[in-house]
Structure 1
Amino acid sequence: MYRRFALEGDVHAALDLVPLAARRKLDLAGLKLSLAGWQALSRAERLALCHLPADTDEDVAVYAEVLRGFADRAGVALAPLAGAPARRDWAADAVGARLRDRLGPDGAPDDGALGRLTEEERYALFKLADPRRGPEKLRALLHELGLPRGAGGEAPAG
C-alpha cells in the first residue's frame, strides 16, 4: 500500500497525474518521467510504480529497472533528474528548516512532530514547502497530518 494524500483528491482513482508517493520514488531513482510519459504507461504499470517499494538501495535499483522496462515498452523517454533530491533532503531536520523558512518559526511544526512522520509524509512536506509553490496545498497537508505549529502547539489553520 502506498500513501494516498487527501489533498491529491481523486488522482489515485485514474492515476492520470503522478501522485506524490510515485514522485518520491522517481526522485530516489534519479529519473525524470514527463506527465505525457506517465500517461502513456498502462494504468496497471502506473499502479505498480505507486506500490513498488523504495525503502532500500536495492529496492530503488529494482524500481528504476522496472520503470525503464515500462518506459521502453511504451516508447517513453526517461531522463536523468538533474539535482535529484536525496533522502537526506527530506530528513526531519531538513524539512523543519525548509518549513521554518517558508512559514516562519512560529508557523512550522516542531522537530519532534516531524520526526514521527513517515518518509513519504516528510517528502510531501518537502515538495509542497518549495517557495515556488502556492501555500494552499502545504496548509492542507499540514492540516491532514495534524501537525501542530511551532512552540505554541497550535493546530494549523485550515
Structure 2
Amino acid sequence: MLFDFESDFAGSLRCIPMIVRMKLDLCGIKLTLRQWSRFTHEDRVALTDLACSTPSERETYRTRVLALIEARSEEPVRFLPEETHDDWQRSDRMPDAVTLQAQADLIAPPTAAQWASLLPLQRFALIKLARSKHENENFVPAMKEFGLCRASTDAG
C-alpha cells in the first residue's frame, strides 16, 4: 500500500515508502536511504510486498533485509534501539508529536475517534511525518488523504 502523498516517488521507489519503513521498525532495522538506493528495483518491490505481520514473517523479512544490506551495500547494518516504538499500534492514545505538528501547520489535530479509526499504517505515517524534520511537508497532505482535514480550496 502506497499513499498518494508518496506519489512523487512511489512509482520508482527511489525513497523508502511508509509501508517498508513500518516493516523495518517491526524488525528493528534502521535502513538508510543510501542503502535503499543500492537495492535493485526488484528488491524494493519485494520488500514493499513481503508480509511482515506474524513473528515468523518478521523474521523472514529481517533476514531478507540483512542479506540485501550485506550483498548490496558497503555500509554496516544499523539496528533500532531496543525500546519499542509502537505508538502507532495504539489506537487509544495519539502521540503528542502529532498534535504539535498539526498545531504548527495550523490545522486541527485528529480527534480521539478519528485517531482510533485510522489503520495502523496511517497512524505510523502520521507519527513518522510529525517527528521527521525533513519530511513534515507531507504531514498536511497525509492528514487530507486520511480524511482528517478538508482539502484547501485556495488556488495556490
TM-score band by shorter chain is: 0.7 to 0.9
Deviation at 1:35, TM superposition (A): 1.2
Structure 1 runs not aligned, ≥5 long: 149-154
The equivalent residue for 1:147 is 148
Query: 4+ residue runs of structure 1 moved beyond 6 angstroms?
Result: none
Deviation at 1:31, TM superposition (A): 0.8
Deviation at 1:73, TM superposition (A): 2.2
Q: How many residues align?
A: 148
- Of 34, 37, 40, which aligns to 2:35? 37
Deviation at 1:113, TM superposition (A): 1.5
- In structure 2, C-alpha distance between the alignment counterparts of 1:43 and 1:13, rounded to whole Å: 10
The equivalent residue for 1:15 is 13
The equivalent residue for 2:25 is 27
The equivalent residue for 1:65 is 63
Alpha-carbon distance change, 14 to 156 in structure 1, aligned in 2, over 3 angstroms? closer
DSSP 3-state at the match of 2:92: helix
Alpha-carbon distance change, 131 to 41 in structure 1, aligned in 2, over 3 angstroms? closer
- In structure 2, C-alpha distance between the alignment counterparts of 1:133 and 1:85, rounded to whole Å: 23
Check conservation: 2:93, 2:112, Cα contact below 8 A: no
DSSP 3-state at the match of 1:147: coil
1:55-74 Cα deviation digits (max 9, x unpaired): 22222211101111222222
TM-score for both structures, normalised by structure 1: 0.80
Moved more, 49-58 or 75-84: 75-84
What is the identity percentage for the equivalent residue pairs of Structure 1 and Structure 2? Answer: 25
1:92-124 Cα deviation digits (max 9, x unpaired): 2343543223334x8111111121211111100
Alpha-carbon distance change, 15 to 98 in structure 1, aligned in 2, over 3 angstroms? same
The equivalent residue for 1:151 is none
The yes-or-no answer on 1:4 pairing with 2:2 is: yes
The one-letter code sitting in structure 1 at the alignment partner of 2:62 is: A
1:106-143 Cα deviation digits (max 9, x unpaired): 81111111212111111001111127356531111000
The equivalent residue for 1:95 is 94
Check conservation: 1:27, 1:84, Cα contact below 8 A: no
Alpha-carbon distance change, 132 to 13 in structure 1, aligned in 2, over 3 angstroms? closer
